[in-house]
Structure 1
Amino acid sequence: MKRLLITIAAVSALLLAQPAFSQDVKVGELHIIHPIARAMLPGAQVGGGYLTIDNEGATDDRLVGGSSPRARSIQVHEMKIADGVMSMNELKQGLAVPAKTKTELKPGSYHLMFMNVEKPFQQGEKIKAVLNFEKAGPVEVEFTVVAPNGDDKSAPAHDHHEMPHTMPMDQTK
């Protein structure tokens, strides 16, 4: 009886923990892997989204943006540091998703920006969105909102979305 109770408790814990993970989506030759967004600070109006796109097909595609009921728009951005200055810019032509490759959107690189968010994302909730691809068309995705500070082991470790779009980086550290 004791063993049965332990087994039931373990299975229950796994079932309760399962919603914390994001759901992968496969549409045609595109496989959207581990879509997550960071929890936002109160009053924040932009949020970051991250995922990996595995283009298993023989044809290149392009991620051109998206939409969500929780944001006015979703833009594709690139963050880079040049001469000690971080800049984050919208990729107005979208992001190339070459055939037979994985394209990673992560902090400090390519990522999604949820723009004009009225209610900041909170850890544990799910954010529905549609990502638009040039060839594959619209793809429904659900982002799992993870910790804002990198404490969630399933999430990328660093995020710059609470920073202004251009700022000097401290190179002494």
Structure 2
Amino acid sequence: MKQLLISTLLAITANAWAQAPALVDVKDAWVRATVAQQKATGAFMQLTARADTRVVGVQSPIAGVAQIHEMAMEKDVMRMRELKAGLPLPAGQPVELKPGGYHVMLMDLKGQVKAGDVVPLTFVLEGPDGKRSTLAVKAPVRALGGGTAAPAAAVPDAHSQHKH
């Protein structure tokens, strides 16, 4: 009886710690390095949602402000703006966050971001049902001008997606 109880408790504990399948897959995450005194940089990656999802927020301990931005042409002028309504991630369709397009803008940096560092990012995701979850990503930092080189893979945190 004691062995049965212990086996049952172990099975319940293992199931509680099993990670749910990722809601959003992250590929090729990276952050652009900065020079001393620079107060902003960008983070880039490819996001693919398994179900219709929206990125409604982002945070990073290296920045006072983190936002999802879009760069777009308006009357022959390239303009950058925050996506206040969030970034839609249609199910199964990769969405590129890249220089000159959608990207994570990290502002009010708390220090220089150097090549070789790893930047933690936490995305807030919202499903069509309004339920929110978080996605933690660790993005390696690439040297200035390193945006076209083959990126290092994103390193999702263990238990990186949490439902709220």
Tell me the equivalent position of 2:80.
88
Pick from 137, 140, 147 the counterpart of residue 144 of structure 1: 140
**Pair 1:82–1:71, CA change in 2 (3 A):** same
Within a 5 Å distance, the mapping from 1:113-152 to structure 2 comes to 113-135=105-127, 137-150=133-146
**Pair 1:151–1:100, CA change in 2 (3 A):** closer
**Pair 1:27–1:43, CA change in 2 (3 A):** farther
**Pair 1:28–1:122, CA change in 2 (3 A):** same
Tell me the equivalent position of 2:27.
33
Residue 122 of structure 1 aligns to a residue whose secondary structure is coil
Distance, in Å, in 1 between the alignment partners of 2:21 and 2:44 is 18
Which is strand-richer, 1 or 2? Answer: 2
CA drift of 1:69 comes to: 1.1
Within a 5 Å distance, the mapping from 1:151-166 to structure 2 comes to 153-155=149-151
Distance, in Å, in 2 between the alignment partners of 1:151 and 1:28 is 26
Using the size of structure 1 for normalisation, the TM-score is 0.68
Verify the 8 A CA contact 1:146 1:152 in the aligned structure 2.
no
Q: Which amino acid aligns with 1:35?
A: A
Q: Which runs of 5+ in 1 are unaligned?
A: 1-25, 156-173
Q: How big is each residue's C-alpha offset from its partner over 1:111-136, in whole Å with a ceiling of 9 and x where there is no partner?
A: 00012112021111101121111135
Matched, 1:70 2:62: yes
Distance, in Å, in 2 between the alignment partners of 1:102 and 1:130 is 19
CA drift of 1:33 comes to: 1.0
Tell me the equivalent position of 2:161.
none
Verify the 8 A CA contact 1:132 1:139 in the aligned structure 2.
yes
Using the size of structure 2 for normalisation, the TM-score is 0.72
Distance, in Å, in 1 between the alignment partners of 2:112 and 2:27 is 23
Distance, in Å, in 2 between the alignment partners of 1:83 and 1:152 is 28
CA drift of 1:150 comes to: 3.0
Verify the 8 A CA contact 2:32 2:147 in the aligned structure 1.
no
Q: Which amino acid aligns with 1:76?
A: I
Query: RMSD value over aligned CA atoms?
Result: 1.8
Q: Which amino acid aligns with 1:94?
A: G
Pick from 33, 41, 47 the counterpart of residue 47 of structure 1: 41
Q: Which amino acid aligns with 1:49?
A: A
Deviation >6 Å, runs of 4+: none
